[in-house]
Amino acid sequence: MQREKGLTFARRPSFIESTNCVPADTTSVKLRGIFNLKRNFCLSVLETVNITSVQFPFRLPLEKEFDAAGFGVNAVDHLIVVPEYPASDTKIRMIRHQQGAGGQTASAIVALQRLGMRTAYAGRFGSDPEGVFGLQSLKDEGINVDAAEVIEEARTQVGYIFIEAKGGERTVLWKRDERITYSELDAPIHFAGRARVLHLDAHDPPACTRMAREARANGTIVSADIDNVYDGLLEFLPLIDVLISSKEFPRLLTGIDDAHAALTEIKTKYGCALVGLTKGGRGATVLCQGQFLETPAFQVPGGCVDTTGAGDAFHGGFLFGLLQGEEIEMSMKIGCAVAALGCRILGARTGLPTRKELDAFLSEPH
């Protein structure tokens, strides 16, 4: 993308070529055309300010078939809206029930596809009606699913999600059929290096380890969204370039309650180029080369309806920023914006924005 002439941007740095994850010079900068801004677009804040830019500590490969590929969980969610989460030994009338497609990795890839990226997905579906529904949902988005598999007589992962009508907070109950798990030997390694970024969720750590190793051998950047400690995970962690987890994961892995200290421990021990965590309504934190970056969440337009899939949406937005050549803080803000827009409608993917919707949202004063 070309730098737009005559626009001075108050809050976002332009992309400065750098191979080190250190702050660039603090300086006034001109706005690069992050979202293809029209020449007649007026920014709400025009004064130039001093800012510090922190770049990603690696370069993305250029000549790949896809921008982003995902290997990991897909699911079908049964979304149940209730006035409040039911207490034990009570009955409560639901307000609404809806079936929707979800899953950590699959939903992040959908977010990237809607934003105009070239995407592909590898994962397993059961041969049940939920599997047919889930696989078709990815095809309908235009995602390449050549590496996806249907396992005969297996059940697709399902989630029963209770969403409180006031505030949209959710509680998830899920079940995964062991027949759709991957072992190290049947990981689709031919898929691993076909994209600029490979995004994983670590539900099958031995398979993820093999995929990550193959991806890195082909110059692909490895991203991971991890929410729990699984058998075999420790072998996978050193192969991750971008690790942004749930807010609980650093404590579960390290036993350290303080988030900054836990992230520091993970980065020191496993060597990931960038580590971080999402914090729901409080935004996200990232650690790179000793510097913590904090980004607040955006208010959900019209009020929060459902937080299901908000973390997956953040990952999609964050990787979109990375793929567009943005610095880390801007990528975090894009991630928070995609997450906020995703929470405006019931379901993990229903509210995920198009590029046009994201552009419009980020052009508004917040």
* Cβ(205)–Cβ(212) below 8 Å: no
pLDDT at residue 47 greater than cutoff 60: no
Query: What's the mean pLDDT in 116-143?
Result: 98
Which pLDDT score, from 0 to 100, does residue 205 have?
97
Which pLDDT score, from 0 to 100, does residue 84 have?
92
Handedness of CA 325, 327, 328, 329 (dihedral sign): negative
Which pLDDT score, from 0 to 100, does residue 226 have?
97
State CA 257 to chain mean position distance. Answer: 24
Which pLDDT score, from 0 to 100, does residue 14 have?
30
Residue ranges matching CATH 3.40.1190.20 in the chain: 66-75+104-155+184-363
Query: What's the mean pLDDT in 237-243?
Result: 98
More confident residue, 4 or 231: 231
Please provide the average confidence, as pLDDT, over all residues in the chain.
Answer: 88
Which pLDDT score, from 0 to 100, does residue 289 have?
83
- CATH superfamily label, 66-75+104-155+184-363: Ribokinase (3.40.1190.20)
Cα–Cα nearest to 106, from 122, 91, 94: 122
* pLDDT band, residue 246 (cuts 50/70/90): very high
Which pLDDT score, from 0 to 100, does residue 219 have?
97
Handedness of CA 359, 363, 364, 366 (dihedral sign): positive
Query: What's the mean pLDDT in 200-224?
Result: 97
Query: What's the mean pLDDT in 220-227?
Result: 97
Each residue of 339-354: pLDDT tens digit?
A: 999 999 999 999 999 9
| Contacts (Cβ under 8 Å, ≥6 apart) of 150 | 124, 125, 126, 127, 131, 135
Residue 256 in tokens: 């350290």
Q: Secondary structure of 31-100 in the HEC alphabet?
A: EECCCCCCCCCCCCCCCCCCECCECCCCCCCCCCCEEEEEECCCEEEEEEEECCCCCCCCCCCCCEEEEE
Query: What's the mean pLDDT in 303-307?
Result: 95
pLDDT at residue 60 greater than cutoff 90: yes
Which pLDDT score, from 0 to 100, does residue 366 have?
83
Which pLDDT score, from 0 to 100, does residue 270 have?
98
**Coil, strand or helix at 199:** strand
